[in-house]
Structure 1
Amino acid sequence: MDRIEQLERAHVQVHSQLLQELDRLYFLKEGGSKGTLGVNEKHLLALRRQLQLSLEKSVAAAKTLKRLGDETAGTNSSEQAITLRLKDLMDANGALDEEIADTMQHTLQLNDDLSRATAEFDTLKSQLQNLHPQVTQQLVTNPPETTEEIAATATPQSETLQELLTALQLISGSL
């Protein structure tokens, strides 16, 4: 099985290089003696390679499904091994596609949450910027009580409450 995987990798690499060289030769022939490919040509080559590989994958997948469904095609053992290997790769690819779709869905949900949180932050920030001058003006006109002022009013109230508590304890007989 390792030998098959090694041959698959070598085949894919050679095939990719062949396509690149054929494309380069085609553009050199069409473009004259420029010698170099422009950005547009490189983009077209990449797009062509992607389409070619997609088509090849589709053909291989269709042949694999046909072979798996055809019980009488089991005579060639190497062909059957390659078919089973391709089926395993297709299954793994399907599982990976599903995982990627789930991850993308989760990413979209997180992006939506981030957008909502950012909008809420912007709203609160603008409200704070609107309130800041008003609060500053109120603090200037009505400064808060100091700790000494609070303590001065709290001490007589505290003494009065202590006297009431003592009186209630005497009346109830707990002292």
Structure 2
Amino acid sequence: MGLQKTLALSAVAAGIMLSLSGAQAAPLLSSSEPMTINASDLAAKEKALTDFPLMEAVKSSIQTLDNSAVEQIEPGRAANPANVKRVESILKEADWDYLFPMRAPEYTYSNFLKAIGKFPAVCGTYTDGRDSDAICRKTLATMFAHFAQETGGHESWRDIGRIKPL
């Protein structure tokens, strides 16, 4: 997804969130009687606010896989989701161990693949002519750069190299 489209999606999502704030809230009742809101009314309002192609793209990009399916993901498993298989083809377990020697024990390659699998849009397949593998490589590079930045893994005083080429 191009930068302009990503920015547009973000702006639309933010606009919808803001439109759901106090300006759309029901007036406070002066009595202590509880207010009843029908689920069907809420569903209709949600549909009215989100029924357009850009919002469908946002919803698709944040879709998640059911936890029972995520827990079945393992390195090399033939039934892994397509996005997990793509990551496995790009980043092997030995690469993971090499790139992240100081990680906490729970941050295993297997758990990383499960995290990727939880979000099918991460390293997903594009059917509009874009190079899915190239986009995935850039996504992983960006993700790993953030890991290093947020965990101090880029500190020059450590006894491991700052840049680890694959």
TM-score by length of 1: 0.27
Q: Which has the larger radius of gyration?
A: 1
TM-score by length of 2: 0.28
Higher relative contact order (CA 8 A, sep 6+): 2
More helix as a share of residues: 1
